[in-house]
Amino acid sequence: MDLQSIKNRFGIIGNSPELNFALQVAVQVANTDLTVLIIGDSGVGKEAFSSIIHTLSSRKHNPFIAVNCGAIPEGTIDSELFGHEKGSFTGAVDARKGYFETVNGGTIFLDEIGELPLGTQARLLRVLEAGEYIRVGSSKVQKTDVRVVAATNKDLLQLVQQNKFREDLYYRLSTVPIRVPSLASRKDDIVLLFRKFASDFAHKYKTVSVQLDEEAKSLLISYPWPGNVRELKNIAEQVSVLSENKTISAKELGRFLQPYSNNRLPMVISPQEQHEFQNERGLLYKLF
């Protein structure tokens, strides 16, 4: 299957060699049961990789679930993933099936895997190594056949060194690592992405698409994009909705971008300075 049709099918924009390589790996491993670890900063587009992997696998007609490990309270995550028996903790008025039971035969996407508590990590390792799990409050070992795709924006090896992430789980998860590049490292994709988002929003709001002039394009490309594609999408939406003109100048675009310093560290400025900075921003971008 060629990459362009994968991109069309999953709405992925971009042509950078790193992005293409990441997609290539996803396609190659999709139809295996290997555990995949998707690594990349926040907003780079990790989510789409999990659906590519599930949809191109022989599990495609079986369930898929995405679980954000960072959004589930520590006290309930074991029960959510592995289920619990009636009366196993206060409030457990009924037995409940966990995702590893309901998704049997399918794929679980564990997003923000670095947030998983250590106890849950041990349970997950057992599923990955033996296909076995135990409901909370039970002693009965159950079998499941679930493919795990995980994602992280944290350096898991660093978490291992801090004893926050199990080393054995780290190596078990990273059988196939897929690195999704940051937006700043694929500058050629920035204008393509903006154009796509602007045209999507124009369609949504039944208007004509905004366009960037040459200076605005340069500004867009030089901006460091700490929030990656998510931030770009947001800005494309704001510009589409709020700008007075359909052709956007660098000055106008600059009003929508966060201030940044050249050394790419977040700027620490007081609210007073920030206020002054806001006023100066248009000027700064003009100079740019």
Ligand X SMILES: Nc1ncnc2c1ncn2[C@@H]1O[C@H](COP(=O)(O)OP(=O)(O)O)[C@@H](O)[C@H]1O
Question: Where do contacts with ligand X occur on this chain (CB under 6 A)?
Answer: 11-14, 40, 42-48, 193, 229-230, 233
As measured in angstroms, the least distance from the Cβ of 272 to ligand X is 33
Nearer to Mg ion, 179 or 281 (CB): 179
Rounded CA separation 232/10 (Å):
18
The residue of the chain with the least Cβ separation from ligand X equals 45
Nearer to Mg ion, 47 or 145 (CB): 47
Strands 64-68 and 247-248 come out as unpaired
As measured in angstroms, the least distance from the Cβ of 122 to Mg ion is 24
- Residue 212 token pair: 């960037």
Q: Which amino acid, residue 67?
A: V
Nearer to ligand X, 27 or 95 (CB): 27
Rounded CA separation 148/65 (Å):
10
Taking the CA atoms of 266, 268, 271 and 272 in sequence, report the sign of the dihedral they define: negative
* Partner from Mg ion, ligand X, none contacting 12, C-beta within 5 to 8 A by type: ligand X
Q: Residue 186, Cβ neighbours under 10 Å: how many?
A: 22
The residue of the chain with the least Cβ separation from Mg ion equals 47
Task: Choose among 251, 258, 261: nearest CA to 278.
Answer: 258
Q: Residue 70, Cβ neighbours under 10 Å: how many?
A: 13
Q: Residue 94, Cβ neighbours under 10 Å: how many?
A: 8
* Partner from ligand X, Mg ion, none contacting 183, C-beta within 5 to 8 A by type: none
Positions in the binding site for Mg ion (CB under 5 A): 47
As measured in angstroms, the least distance from the Cβ of 46 to ligand X is 3
Nearer to ligand X, 40 or 106 (CB): 40
Question: Could you give the 3-state DSSP secondary structure of residue 52?
Answer: helix
As measured in angstroms, the least distance from the Cβ of 47 to Mg ion is 5
DSSP annotation of 91:
T
As measured in angstroms, the least distance from the Cβ of 94 to Mg ion is 31
* Partner from ligand X, Mg ion, none contacting 13, C-beta within 5 to 8 A by type: ligand X
Give CA 86 to chain center in angstroms: 35
As measured in angstroms, the least distance from the Cβ of 110 to Mg ion is 11
CA atoms within a 13 Å half-sphere pointing along the CA-CB vector of 50: 25
Nearer to ligand X, 68 or 261 (CB): 68
Nearer to ligand X, 92 or 184 (CB): 184
* Partner from Mg ion, ligand X, none contacting 59, C-beta within 5 to 8 A by type: none
